[in-house]
Structure 1
């Protein structure tokens, strides 16, 4: 595949500690792993640790043939190229392992961190294959069973340096807000209005028509949110051998049924272990997620109900319905597709199905994996090494110019807007205009007061002339002062606009760019090949935030 010359001018690094956006636990994990070693499966930075994790994942028994059959069928729905087919078939071999990442099925791939996760996964799979000599497959776990529709139903873009949001409203959550697994929701005709609004928000460019053609091909009425997400991701990462997996499949749930059965029978042990490790972690850091009465949901009536343990029974949260343990286990045997893991059990289901050597995680995921080691041990599933995804901010040339003109760098733009403006004004102020004028007027009065007695000795009537001169000079000084202050205000207004523009670009809505902006804004402006350039230029050493200058 021929790719245009890179639009990336430079990549530099800034420590995570320079930002307020990253939790201490994540910063420590990236910079002083040894302090957290007891909570994880091994130091992600060391090749020998990654190789040992690959060995453990390969040796753990699993039904690879059944897994491959499902993956072939699923990926055929989303565009099964030769590289992906070869990687899926490679999973039949007992020595093959996977580097896995995952994400909710956000509209049009969700924010920028989704491609960053994917890029790190592709890079790391290749690195691990070189390090171990064994086949390594990059896998993307499609988290379509989450029921938070609002979280995945909006796309946010920049339009003339202002943040705009386009929201898909094709479904109305019932009372309680539970639409069931969002990945199952079928796009209505309202998606066409969303697509039109997105296209209108994107500036005219050489790439807009082609980009929107890809998006429209994926997001069409009658297509599920999960299928649309996977199709667009496939279009954005062609020929990379990326394998997608949707756990919302009865055949995969049947493979994971022993894990679910154990959770139903022994959820109290899981809760106790989880609470104990969370308490230890909270002594110095924080607990990212909290224990639940069970770690399973039941999918029923197009809704996703948490199962709350009450003695030997289980209540569908928010209802008066109770199921005893035997009824629940019988349903698991007959209809395993009705069960869904929560955030605690999801990684264990993933690593029960897949030979996961390394999981590529965002900061929040790195944090909650610190709570999971005792749960992996309880389940008898090898815990993967957790590798931080690339974290990056894309800096366009117009923003780079603002940074170059003022004594600020990217992290400074996270500061509250008025406070940042005042700080920059004070830093750049060479003279206090008001003070200089007050001093000048003082000298004026001193001069007139000195000269006036001399004039009056010559001619007493000249005293009035001296006062008239004082008034005229003071008036002219005041006029000059107003002209200077207006010029200073124009400068300040320009500075305020510059800082606002840069802040909206780098910290839209006061948050990290990667957590808010859609990739569509940048792909429209710099071409979809930007993803290939990022694939080549982002550093696989992800222990610092990367500043990508475009």
Structure 2
């Protein structure tokens, strides 16, 4: 059973997200086509003209190489072959290589991507649409990805390797986590599956990128997901001209800064601050920023130094050594994929909206931007508790003080709302105001001040009554707030804290099938989804 509410009603997202999905005209210059179904045909026509046969061939070769040792579903294999056809396009989401998928919204990103591809195939049957998960294998912030939560416990992978691209990190020393998981996950059928999945993921694959590809394929391969690690020389060869533009002309810096300033002037928080050079130098275990000083190029924290001629020659010979940062990665993605749409979270969309003029300057088609699905999952048992407490699931999006106040007013046998008394008071003062109009301004002001004083007095009494009733109804309110804390851990959206395993232990593989059935990416609403829990033995 799914229930939906507007994103703005949740109060958990930013103004730029609300304004984008509500088509605020102030944002129109910052994107191309809005994610309406009918707009995809124009995007298809434009991308078809821009993406070449050789680019498709290179991408297919890379994917076949990466899937050599992966047990691939027939649908994923078909999708990879389809990319060679100029009537095939990708729908893409990207995510870090979080330990055991990290937060629950990893699933929502991929489900949104798969479901949009299905919707487009239904609407445009003459074309093929491939859901792609772009692994952020070149990231280097290990502390952002080395943990996950299960039933309020944090499982953290400690790794001394703190340099280089995380995709190349060895999984050799992850074994200390296995004992904790073995004891904490339980021994139900679903728990045993999860423990086996964790073991296969990290003990049978040498690097974090290989492990993450296996895990995503295990969860979504049968639904046709294609997983790409873009840390490949042949793909970066198609990006050489853009790498050089960043090194020599600083195109990203000037264009993104201009857009960021415009968004800032509109009152939005800027997500990305571009650098003059938005590239890292990557070799072996090194991934360090490139900077330009005194007409030379330096790799920070190393002795590497190049003239302009030398570094451009290096780009031609070894493009794989140049790794885009957050400002350039979106452009790289759209250069190497026949992509129509990027699906991301609120923070991602906010920084993509800073990039449109940069894409235009580089003559690369800007993708349609789509906010991924968000959801609150709760069991049928929780639904019964909500009913017994006379709560609507939407009430739980309130802050704890507002929720407690609302519930107290609902269940109190005393009417705590003094609006009737305030209205009566205002009517009593109407005749005094009529008299005041016939005298001087000072008397009118005195009447107004007296009215406000008495209204303030009623509001103060109302607050004191509410406080007294909260105290009297403490036990039931505690149950309400405890239920809220269970569904909004640490005051966060569930999807930003829980790992999928915590839901999977109770629900099994039906979790993913239920998400695929109920999450509708183009409807742009927050989904509250009741799950009928199946408890395995």
TM bucket by the smaller chain? 0.7 to 0.9
Identify the match of residue 503 of structure 2 among 498, 522, 527.
Answer: 522
Which whole-Å CA distance do the structure 2 matches of 1:543 and 1:222 have between them?
A: 37
* Change beyond 3 A, Cα 1:492–1:354: same
- What CA distance in whole angstroms lies between the structure 2 residues aligned with 1:196 and 1:339? 39
What is the SS of the residue equivalent to 2:134? Answer: strand
Give the stretch that moved more between structures: 502-511 or 67-76.
502-511
1:164-211, Cα deviation, whole Å (9 max, x unpaired)? 111111x125xxxx421111111124x233233234333543322123
C-alpha distance in 2 between matches for 1:415 and 1:546: 16
**1:183 counterpart (158, 167, 180):** 167
Supply the distance in 2 between the matched residues of 1:429 and 1:237 (Cα, whole angstroms).
49
Residues 1:491 and 1:305: Cα distance change in structure 2 (over 3 Å)? same
CA distance in 2, matches of 1:301, 1:94: 36
Q: Which runs of 5+ in 2 are unaligned?
A: 416-469, 532-537
- Distance verdict in 2 for CA 1:262–1:79, change over 3 Å: farther
Inter-CA distance 407–67: structure 2 relative to 1 (3 Å threshold): same
- After superposition, the C-alpha distances for 1:275-305 in whole angstroms (9 at most, x for unaligned) are 1111111122222211112111111351321
Q: How does 1:2-21 map to 2 (within 5 A)?
A: 10-21=1-12
1:134 aligns with 2:127: yes
User: What residue in structure 2 maps to residue 83 of structure 1?
Assistant: 75
Alignment match, 2:139: 146
What's the secondary structure of 2:521's corresponding residue?
coil
Equivalent residue number for residue 404 of structure 1: 387
Is residue 274 of structure 1 aligned with residue 256 of structure 2?
yes
* Partners of 2:507 and 2:120 in 1: CA distance: 31
After superposition, give the CA deviation of every residue in 1:186-240 in whole Å (9 maximum; x if it has no partner). Answer: 1124x23323323433354332212322232122165211111111111111322
- SS of residue in 2 equivalent to 1:41: coil
Indicate the residue corresponding to 1:66 in structure 2: 58
Q: TM-score, normalised by structure 1?
A: 0.80
Q: Distance in 2 between matches of 1:222 and 1:34?
A: 48
Residue of 524, 529, 534 corresponding to 1:543: 524
1:270 and 1:130 map into 2 onto residues whose CA distance is 37
Secondary structure of 1:307's counterpart equals strand
Q: Deviations over 1:451-473 (max 9, x none)?
A: xxxxxxxxxxxxxxxxxxxxxxx
User: Which of 332, 336, 344 is equivalent to 2:327?
Assistant: 344
Tell me the CA shift for residue 490 of structure 1: 11
Equivalent residue in structure 2 for 1:164, among 143, 153, 162: 153
1:294 matched to which residue of 2?
Answer: 277
1:59 touches 1:94 (CA, 8 Å); kept in 2?
no
Q: Does 1:208 align with 2:208?
A: no
SS at match of 2:149: strand
SS of 1:57's equivalent? helix
Q: Is the 8 A contact 1:51 1:128 kept in 2?
A: no
Does 1:23 pair with 2:14? yes
Number of the residue aligned with 1:455: none
Distance 2:63 2:169 in 1: 21
302 and 193 in structure 1: CA distance in 2 versus 1, 3 angstrom threshold: same
Residue aligning to 1:56 = 46
CA distance in 2, matches of 1:83, 1:238: 8
Change (3 A) 1:48 1:222: closer
Task: Give, in whole Å, the separation in 1 of the partners of 2:349 and 2:67.
Answer: 28
Q: 1:112 aligns with which of 101, 104, 111?
A: 104
d(CA) in 2 for partners of 1:276, 1:510: 36
Please say if 1:374 is aligned against 2:366.
no
Residues 111-159 of structure 1: per-residue CA shift (max 9 Å, x gap) = 111111111111111222232321111111011111111111101122x
Confirm or deny: 8 A CA contact 2:185 2:195 kept in the other structure: no
Mapped partners of 1:527, 1:549: distance in 2: 15
Contact 1:410 1:506 in 2 (8 A): no
How far, CA to CA, are the matches of 2:179 and 2:404 in structure 1? 36
1:284-329 alpha-carbon deviations (Å, 9 max, x no partner): 2222211112111111351321222335223334556543322221
Residue 74 of structure 1: CA displacement? 0.7
Shift of 1:345: 0.8
Secondary structure at the aligned position of 1:186 is classed as coil
Aligned residue number for residue 249 of structure 1: 232
* 1:421-500 equivalences in 2 (<5 Å): 421=404, 424-425=407-408, 427-430=410-413, 492-493=474-475, 495-500=477-482
- The match for 1:454 is none
- Name 1:449's counterpart in structure 2: none
**Aligned CA distance change for structure 1 residues 504 and 75 (closer, same or farther; 3 Å):** farther
- Following the alignment from structure 2 to structure 1, what is the Cα–Cα distance between the partners of residues 317 and 202? 34
> Residues 203 and 270 of structure 1: is their aligned pair in 2 closer, same or farther, counting only changes over 3 Å?
same
Question: Is the Cα contact below 8 Å between 1:307 and 1:315 reproduced in 2?
Answer: yes
Distance 1:123 1:19 in 2: 23
Distance 1:535 1:428, change over 3 A: same
Cα offset, 1:539, TM superposition: 2.1
Stretches of structure 1 that go unaligned for 5 or more consecutive residues are 1-9, 433-487
